[in-house]
Amino acid sequence: MTTGQRHGAAIERRILGHEHREIEHVIARIETTAELAGNLAARDLGSALRSLLDAIQKTFLPHTEWEDEWCYPEIDRITGTPWATRLLRFEHQQIRATVQRLEADWLALRHEPSHRQLVDLRARLYTLHAIVSTHFEQEERFLMPLLDVEAPTDTSILEGD
């Protein structure tokens, strides 16, 4: 088997690292916004939620699209299986669905929300925080290192021979 650092791997890792650091600020804002639910007037909470959703739309969702279109297929190529990224792709779907639900919550904040609505909003924000945090941890620990190496030329390694 021959492995070595892929051409461009160092640049890709720097870009990914930079984007992940930028998105870590958004992750922190998710938790902060969750803490505000129930403690602010609907108008102020709506403003905080809108700001968070705009940040997610600007930084996080384009990052997930890039991962789905380029990064994950590259990891699948390197590992020789689509299973390496299947769970992370599913998490992207969960994140997008939660963000869509939060958009609906934001619209509902134009009127004074009930206690139940605020509890549900807080739960959704903490859920989003948990999914995104663990997702990033998985990428950092398990997938990003794979980008550093070229796919093995000896497929028996992947087959367990």
Domain boundaries, the chain: 9-159
Least confident of 19-23, 27-31, 62-66, 140-144: 19-23
CB 98 within 8 Å of CB 124:
yes
CATH architecture of 9-159: Up-down Bundle (1.20)
Calpha distance 121→101 (Å, rounded): 9
Looking at residues 16-37, what average pLDDT do you find? 88
Dihedral class, residue 111 (left if φ above 0, else alpha if ψ from -120 to 50, else beta):
beta
pLDDT tens digits, 46-73: 999 999 999 999 999 999 999 999 889 9
Global pTM? 0.82
Calpha distance 10→145 (Å, rounded): 11
pLDDT tens digits, 80-139: 999 999 999 999 999 999 999 999 999 999 888 999 999 999 999 999 999 999 999 999
Calpha distance 114→76 (Å, rounded): 46
